Structure formats: structure tokens, C-alpha cells
Amino acid sequence: MALLPETPYIYQAEVVTVLDGDSLWLKLTKVFKIDFGFKILDTVLKETTQNFRLAGINAAELATPTREAGEAAKALLASLVKEGPLLAVTHKPDKYGRWICDLFQGQGPDYVHVNAEMLKSPFVVAYGQPPKAEWSD
């Protein structure tokens, strides 16, 4: 029997709080429709609130000497997620216990990939790249 590849889970998401430019708390909702046969149908709603880090990005930190850049990155993330609907595609936890996710704002073909939008900011780099020198106050 072959093992299935790791499949991300997809949830409706609501922002609880933005922590900084690359992490936030999200309330996730998932609806399961179950057909038991014999015309027996049921719907189950599950919710959880978890700490998330956006996949593939690293934003300036809120601690000095990058505080101004960190505040700008946090404000940008907050502006990108203030309107719904949001969809979270979760992957796995990082070494700090935060779940890694890709976050999407909007619906259908007009959605915005929040992670990719954050990378357009001068205060965010791809994960694994060194911080930019101009982040220092």
C-alpha cells in the first residue's frame, strides 16, 4: 500500500490578532457533511483557534533595531487580512509550535495570496534570506 503525499488542510479563517509581519492568531472553521447512507445526513462544524506563521516569508522583527520596519510589516499584514473571506491552507508546525500556512483573501479567481503580497514589501524577505540593511532604525 502506497502512502499518500502530505495533504494540506483548507479552512475558512477569521483573524483573532496580528502578532507581527509574518505571524497571527486565526480562528479556523471547517464544515463536514456526512452521508451515513439510508438517507441519513449530518453536518458537523468544528472550530479551533491557533497561532500561525505565514509560509515562505520573514518579516522585520518588532524588537529594536528593526522596530519601525517591523511595525510597518505588521500594519501591512493587518491591512491585507482585515476584509474577508479568508482561507488558510495549513501545512505543519514550526519549531516554536506555530502552524505554517498560506493565507488567501477573497474568493474565486480574484483571491489575493497574502504571503505573496507580503513579499512585495520592502520589510519582508523570502524565508531563509538575510534581513535587509535598511530595516535598522
Range of the domain at 104: 9-128
Q: Is residue 134 part of a domain?
A: no
Would you say residue 3 lies in a domain?
no
Quote the number of domains for the chain.
Answer: 1
pLDDT tens digits, residue range 19-69? 999 999 999 999 889 999 999 999 999 999 999 999 999 999 999 889 999
Predicted confidence at residue 6, as pLDDT, reads 56
51 inside domain:
yes
Note the pTM of the prediction, 2 decimals: 0.85
Looking at the predicted structure, is the pLDDT value of residue 3 above 50?
A: no
User: Which of the four pLDDT bands, split at 50, 70 and 90, describes residue 5?
Assistant: very low
Is 2 within the bounds of a domain? Answer: no
Contacts of 34 (CB under 8 A, 6+ apart): 41, 42, 43, 44
What number is the average pLDDT over the span 87-93? 93
Is residue 122 situated within a structural domain? yes
CATH number of the domain bearing residue 60: 2.40.50.90
Largest CA-CA distance found in the chain, in angstroms, rounded: 67
The reply to whether 1 falls in a domain is: no
